[in-house]
Amino acid sequence: MIGFIKKSLNKTLQAIKNVAPQKKEKIDKDEIEDILLEADVTYDLAETIIYRLPASKLVTREDLKRILLSFFVNNKNIEKIGEKPFVELILGVNGAGKTTTIAKLANLYKKDGKKVILGAADTFRAAAVEQLKRWAEKLNIQIVATKQGHDPSAVAYDTISSAVAKNFDNVLIDTAGRLHNQTNLSNEIKKIVRICNKAKEGTPHRKILILDGTQGNSAINQAKAFKEIVGIDAIIITKLDGTAKGGALFSISEELKLPILYIGVGEKEDDLIPFDADKYIDGLLDGFFMSNDNGQE
């Protein structure tokens, strides 16, 4: 796991070397702030982190790690919902990697022995339906799909109904990538949620927002808009391996007060790993602190 985390943070660690070329056992607070800002931690949050550190001028790895872990408290409260079928609605703007992430999630569930069905409710783009169909065929997973322009709520309804009738374990429903300022598309999301509940009361059980890691902190306002429109339960960060903005996860977690479930570390179906705050922070700290007590780099 730690290897995948460090791989995903490679560009962030390279950026950190610009301000901290040498690893140390203790680091000056001013240098710590420079490092945080270089990794795309917001200025206000960097100031908060510095304020919470012990009064001494030099900072140890252990002191900084303790403070950084506090920004992922929401990850300790991820609900384990035992509903069957367990229905997840996947949301996000165009280009965030939403459809590919659905395939990766389906692959994870299938490997866990679950029976999975996909709903191609992104009927706005024909390419999105075809992409999800290709993934379903590759992974040998059932899919409910229709033509471009059809009612996405109907796709969601049919997918859940089929899952109930055929005893599926997991339902993953794609939605059209949309900008938060498009009122008609926002209303469409609300309709899909209502129709899901009609197909099976209490669904969707979880609404997951896909955020593009290369957007860094600029994705926060986008996420806040989705949260306000329909309510978001959790986040998946994609493309973390392709950005130097790995530190943005602190700000995202702190601002949104939502758990980060997974991070994307590549384009293949296996390139999705559960987010582990402890390993993520160790991966960052290894870039500028000397190795910790157990010798792990």
Task: Check if the beta carbon of residue 230 is closer than 8 Å to that of residue 196.
Answer: no
Q: Which residue has the higher pLDDT, 84 or 291?
A: 84
Confidence class for position 4, pLDDT limits 50, 70, 90: low
Residue 34: inside a domain: no
The fraction of the chain above a pLDDT of 90, given in percent, is: 68
**Given this model, what pLDDT does residue 80 score?**
66
Residue type, 53: L
The count of structural domains within the chain is 1
Range(s) of the domain holding residue 274: 75-280
* Number of Cβ within a 10 Å radius of residue 65: 17
Task: Check if the beta carbon of residue 102 is closer than 8 Å to that of residue 135.
Answer: yes
Whether the predicted model's global pTM rises above the 0.95 cut: no
Residue 98: inside a domain: yes
The fraction of the chain above a pLDDT of 70, given in percent, is: 93
Q: What CATH number did the domain enclosing 230 receive?
A: 3.40.50.300
Residue 55: inside a domain: no
Residue 2: inside a domain: no
**Given this model, what pLDDT does residue 182 score?**
67
**Given this model, what pLDDT does residue 295 score?**
40
Q: What average pLDDT does the segment 255-274 reach?
A: 91
* Range in 162-176, 183-197, 281-295 the model is least confident about: 281-295
pLDDT at 52 over 70: yes
pLDDT at 1 over 80: no
Residue 54: inside a domain: no
Q: What average pLDDT does the segment 156-169 reach?
A: 97
